[in-house]
Structure 1
Amino acid sequence: MAEINVTPMVDVMLVLLIIFMVAAPMLSSGMKVELPQAKSAQPSDQQSPIVLTIGADKKVTLGPDEIPRSELVARIKAMMGAESRVVHVRGDRTASYGDIVAVLDDLALNGITRLSLIANKGTAEAAQP
């Protein structure tokens, strides 16, 4: 009576399983691509955005007006009204990352979640100090 020994096959399958478990997270990282340019592209939201600027000196401006952070959420909600508009957040390059995140967190905790971070068009080499 001949029986098939499956032990070597199970060993090979376990080794392959371990290899794929280790390799899968490495494969899921994004790849660099150059996105095409579209000259006729239109923004999907035709309403004017609310522009919030955070300076290197921690000063916050809403549009052209400088405002204290304590009034920020109330002023943005007043500008939005019942509409769901996008808030464009511009942070100075030398501003502390923590200051920008603190402002974003204040907005998100108060229900303002449609946020966009704004950056200038340029190369990564130009952004290095």
Structure 2
Amino acid sequence: MGVKLASPSGGRGRRGRGGRTPMAEINVTPMVDVMLVLLIIFMVAAPLLAAGVPVNLPDSQADALPSDNEPLTVSLDEQGRIFIDEERIPAGAFSERVALFLPGGGEAPPVVLRADRGLDYGRVVAVMGALNNAGFRQISLVTNGSSESP
């Protein structure tokens, strides 16, 4: 805590008392420095946390859809391997594994489907069909934003 010394003009401060009066100001510079360092750390770390499975997404001009609850993320990489969140699913076990994410008696969460642009269209549609058969009715396709017209 800082202390304000008496003024050289006879020892009288603002209030007319002699001696030392406490300083009523808080130094916020160290707090601002810490907050700026934390901001930089989070700005650098956030993109690293968002990218789960590396997928080369196609471009689109569509706007992003708002989401109320946490979606289930299904990814298809360039080899056609399927991932739920970041867990690789063995071939043929996708239907059984995705059924585990359905709540008992509740509404199925929305699904975010990330598919590599080099994949066969039939492969993507087959995964969408398996999701639909499992009970997932809200399926969103993730794309990169683009300003190009088709």
Q: Same fold by TM (over 0.5)? A: yes
Counterpart Cα distance in 1 of 2:142 and 2:118: 14
Asked if residue 48 in structure 1 is aligned to residue 70 in structure 2, the reply is: yes
Structure 2 match to 1:62: 84
**Normalization by structure 1: what TM-score?**
0.57
Distance 1:93-1:62 versus aligned 2 partners, 3 A rule: same
Counterpart Cα distance in 2 of 1:99 and 1:115: 15
Counterpart Cα distance in 1 of 2:92 and 2:73: 17
| Alpha-carbon shift at residue 69 of structure 1 (Å) | 4.0
SS in 1 for 2:92: helix
Structure 2 match to 1:116: 140
Q: How does 1:1-129 map to 2 (within 5 A)?
A: 43-45=66-68, 47-82=69-104, 83-124=107-148
Distance 1:42-1:68 versus aligned 2 partners, 3 A rule: closer
Q: Which runs of 5+ in 1 are unaligned?
A: 1-33
* Per-residue Cα deviation, 1:9-31 (whole angstroms, up to 9, x for no partner): xxxxxxxxxxxxxxxxxxxxxxx
SS in 2 for 1:80: coil
Letter in 1 for 2:77: G
Report how many aligned residue pairs link the two structures. 88
Counterpart Cα distance in 1 of 2:132 and 2:99: 12
SS in 2 for 1:51: strand
CA RMSD of aligned residues (A): 2.8
Counterpart Cα distance in 1 of 2:98 and 2:84: 8
Structure 2 match to 1:28: none
* Per-residue Cα deviation, 1:70-126 (whole angstroms, up to 9, x for no partner): 22222222223234200110110111111101111122223222211111122236x
Counterpart Cα distance in 1 of 2:132 and 2:117: 22
Q: Which runs of 5+ in 2 are unaligned?
A: 1-60
Counterpart Cα distance in 2 of 1:42 and 1:120: 13
| Alpha-carbon shift at residue 44 of structure 1 (Å) | 4.3
Which has a greater percent of helix? 1
